[in-house]
Amino acid sequence: MMSPVTGITFTDFKGIRKGRVSLERFTLLIGRNNSGKSSVLEALFLLPLPYRETPYGNALSAIRSLHDTLGSRSFSFLLRDYISEGCRVEYDVDNGVRAAFSCVPADGVIDAEMSWFKGADRAASMRLRLGEGLELLHPKVHEISEIRKKLKSLGVPETLLIHPSLIQAGWDYIKAQWGRVTQRGLDRKVARELSRLVGGNYVGMTLEPLLREKISLNLQDEEGRRIRLGDLGDGVQILATVMLLVRLTGPDLLLWDDLEAHLNPQLLSFTLRWLDELAAGGVQVVTSTHSLEVLRYASQLLGDREWFGVRLLTLRDGELRPISLTRDKLDELLEAGVDVRVAEALL
């Protein structure tokens, strides 16, 4: 079984000058806007290797796509204030294995490296040059799967990031992989899970054009009747996409930024239950939210699960300071009607 990531430490990475966040099996990140939640999740998505195939292309380029502006598509977002002398992120895995991602600007490009250590030994490393595009310096592309296997044997987790701006790419990936989805029976599995939510008795999914339109993903019931997922709502469509992506890629560490984007309250509580089940089954989960609905549910989880944690992030003068909320504290704040997401001054 994979070992969870227990902590992540930052030096001059994006907007974070310094700071450390400890992680549980299931961690909820909260905090006001610009408190560093997305930065933590993006840094975790660099694991196990920043250059590796994901449903959205290679991991680091997928993260960069979240930071593309009209005028710029560079990797300088990695550096604090875009000009710092370098960035460093350190990761601790539960079994004593550690990793470090670093980047150093040189002559208009950025040299980046991810190294894995077991004790004092360097177990694996990857070097990249980031300029207009991304150049893999070491290892060779065909050697990456070997390194991934080696890291897997060391208990290093594979990660998947769910982000509102990556859902479209995720959906395109599922369409392209539909053969594998049905072969492995993932469509039937997800259809049953979704039935609990939308209250039907769906036994499978189809990917086909209904009424000669664009291809749609449809739920199918026992009589063969189909309904387009989109007609059950945007949220259901997004949730189905996420569920299929997770079943298809089988991440050990699932990262979900802005959990409540597109999900109504009923879907949110269903999604939280689903994440809770994933975590109970051994998948590590880190998710961020602005939703009070989620925080009420979190209070329940804090009482029931010793491996669930809430971190209220604050970022001041570049210093990231997470506050761990206990159930009592969270309930106290919720009962007092305090907006927990901005409650750091009271804690």
Ligand X SMILES: Nc1ncnc2c1ncn2[C@@H]1O[C@H](COP(=O)(O)OP(=O)(O)OP(=O)(O)O)[C@@H](O)[C@H]1O
Residues in 305-344 that interact with ligand X by CB under 6 A: 315
Residues 295 and 330: beta-carbon distance below 8 Å: yes
Of the candidates 38, 74, 177, 289, which one interacts with Mg ion according to CB under 5 A?
38
Residues 18 and 317: beta-carbon distance below 8 Å: no
241 binds ligand X (CB under 6 A): no
Of the candidates 4, 19, 31, 309, which one interacts with ligand X according to CB under 6 A?
31
* Residue whose CB is nearest to ligand X in the complex, by number: 15
Residue 342 CA from chain centroid, whole number: 23
- Which lies closer to Mg ion via its Cβ, residue 161 or residue 232? 161
**Only segment of 36-44, 153-161, 217-225, 260-268 that touches ligand X (CB under 6 A):** 36-44
Residue 112 CA from chain centroid, whole number: 21
Side-chain half-sphere exposure of 242, counting CA atoms within 13 A: 29
- Which lies closer to ligand X via its Cβ, residue 63 or residue 243? 63
- Which lies closer to Mg ion via its Cβ, residue 206 or residue 291? 291
d(CA 287, CA 259): 7
Identify how many contiguous H helices and E strands the chain contains and give both numbers: 10, 18
Of the candidates 25, 37, 52, 311, which one interacts with ligand X according to CB under 6 A?
37
Taking the complex as a whole, how short is the minimal distance between the CB of residue 288 and Mg ion, in angstroms? 6
SS3 string, 156-179, reads CCCEEEECHHHHHHHHHHHHHCHH
For Mg ion, what does the binding mask look like between residues 288 and 327, x meaning CB under 5 A?
Answer: ----------------------------------------
- Which lies closer to ligand X via its Cβ, residue 81 or residue 146? 81
55: helix, strand or coil: strand
80 binds ligand X (CB under 6 A): yes
33 binds ligand X (CB under 6 A): yes
Task: Tell me the C-alpha to C-alpha distance, in Å, between residue 113 and each of 73, 104, 121, 132, 177.
Answer: 20, 9, 16, 17, 31
Residues 325 and 313: beta-carbon distance below 8 Å: no
Q: Which entry of Mg ion, ligand X, none binds 77, CB below 5 to 8 A by partner kind?
A: ligand X
Residues at the interface with Mg ion (CB under 5 A) = 37-38
Q: Interface with ligand X by CB under 6 A: which residues? A: 14-15, 31, 33-39, 77, 79-82, 315
